Amino acid sequence: MRSQTLNRWLDNRNVLGLLFMLPAAAILLVFLTYPLGLGVWLGFTDAKVGRGGGWIGLENYQWLWEDSVFRLSIFNTFLYTVVASVIKFVLGLWLALLLNRHLPFKSFLRAIVLLPFIVPTVLSAIAFWWIYDAQFSVLSWTLVKMGLIDEYINFLGEPNLARASTIAANVWRGVPFVAICLLAGLQTISPALYEAAAIDGATPWQQFRNITLPMLSPIIAVVMTFSVLFTFTDFQLIWVLTRGGPINATHLMATLSFQRAIPGGALGEGAAIATAMIPFLLAAILFSYFGLQRRKWQQGGADK
């Protein structure tokens, strides 16, 4: 009798739902939601490593606002995100279109292309570090041999070069992700649409403009949101390649936050920098969310 009541109880969706949600919810509440709040709170304190901090209100933010390095890091973050995302989108879409063609070894090619995304970022960043080395760079060696330059380039030693080099490495890692996701989107477009367009007399460019792009736009919005988020909060690549140098030229908000908080010991200040990233992230999410809404409406809400 008791087991029967227990069984009925377990067949109730609300009870069972709650039970099933418990492990995931517990972990996420303790290690995600709580720290998220704690991080915001820490931003208002003068906590140091090994010592809890007291409430100091907006002092961290005031201090940061006048800190030229922090401002520079905001500029760098935006530059890095915008330039890298745009290039990733253009190259990724191009690569996706190439891979969507009638090709031999199609799935093999697709597998190879994704490799840079799979390998640990830190480890591939080390390869880039070596490629960008001031004395032994293979890039410089090739350019010298081709007679294009006279002396080795100090890729990571000069501010703008360092920015370009880190962006290039980020693009290298991000293009496969964008390309493979967009390729998946391309494969869902019915060939009949292109056949109809071809019979209607559309040129390849017109087909791209009037079929491919509109059909692909929902997935573009999602993929680029992810791409922007990952780029904006990037830490590993910069930390390995430049640690924010030379003269803070490549410091992103994430790397600056780490440097101030962990080696520098100023947890409160680091948390404030990290918290300052949240509004930008929210803006990016909302932007793509509303972008998506409009798309669904455009396509009669039928896109899945």
Partner 1 sequence: MAEKEQREGMHYLESLPRRWVTVYIPLLLFLFVLLFPFYWMGLTAFKPDAELLSSGGNPFWVMEPTLEHFRKLFIDTSYPEWMWNTVIISVVSTFVSLAASVFAAYAIERLRFKGSRQLGLAIFLAYLVPPSILFIPLATMVFQLGMFDSRWALILTYPTFLIPFCTWLLMGYFRSIPFELEECALIDGATRWQILTRIVLPLAVPGLISAGIFAFTLSWNEFIYALTFISASENKTVPVGVITELVEGDVYHWGSLMAGALVGSLPVAVMYSFFVEYYVAGMTGAVKE
Got the DSSP string for 108-174? HHHHHHTHHHHS-HHHHHHHHHHHT-TTT-HHHHHHHHTTS-SS---TTTSHHHHHHHHHHHHHHHH
CB 228 within 8 A of CB 289: no
Indicate the residue among 58 and 112 with the shorter CB distance to partner 1.
112
Count of CA atoms in the C-beta half-sphere (13 A) of 251: 19
Residue type, 260: R
Indicate which single residue of 122, 196, 213, 286 sits in contact with partner 1 (rule: CB under 8 A). 122
Pattern 188-217, binding to partner 1, x per CB under 8 A?
---x---x--x-------------------
Alpha carbon 138 to chain centroid, angstroms: 28
Is position 80 an interface residue for partner 1 (rule: CB under 8 A)?
no
By CB under 8 A, which span of 55-63, 65-73, 156-164, 270-278 interacts with partner 1? 270-278
Count of CA atoms in the C-beta half-sphere (13 A) of 242: 29
Question: How many chain residues interact with partner 1 (CB under 8 A)?
Answer: 98
Is position 149 an interface residue for partner 1 (rule: CB under 8 A)?
no
Is position 72 an interface residue for partner 1 (rule: CB under 8 A)?
no
Is position 128 an interface residue for partner 1 (rule: CB under 8 A)?
yes
Indicate which single residue of 58, 86, 90, 126 sits in contact with partner 1 (rule: CB under 8 A). 126
By CB under 8 A, which span of 82-90, 156-164, 170-178, 209-217 interacts with partner 1? 170-178
Count of CA atoms in the C-beta half-sphere (13 A) of 59: 12
* DSSP annotation of 47: -
Rounded CA-CA distance 172/106 in Å is 21
Indicate which single residue of 57, 68, 102, 300 sits in contact with partner 1 (rule: CB under 8 A). 102
Rounded CA-CA distance 231/174 in Å is 9
Owner of token pair 């990037």 = 234
Is position 256 an interface residue for partner 1 (rule: CB under 8 A)?
no
By CB under 8 A, which span of 24-32, 63-71, 159-167, 208-216 interacts with partner 1? 24-32
Which 31-50 positions form the footprint of partner 1 (CB under 8 A)?
31-32, 34-36, 38-39, 42, 47, 50
* DSSP annotation of 299: T
Which 150-169 positions form the footprint of partner 1 (CB under 8 A)?
none
Rounded CA-CA distance 53/69 in Å is 23
Residue 247: CB minimum distance to partner 1, A: 18
Indicate which single residue of 64, 72, 162, 254 sits in contact with partner 1 (rule: CB under 8 A). 254
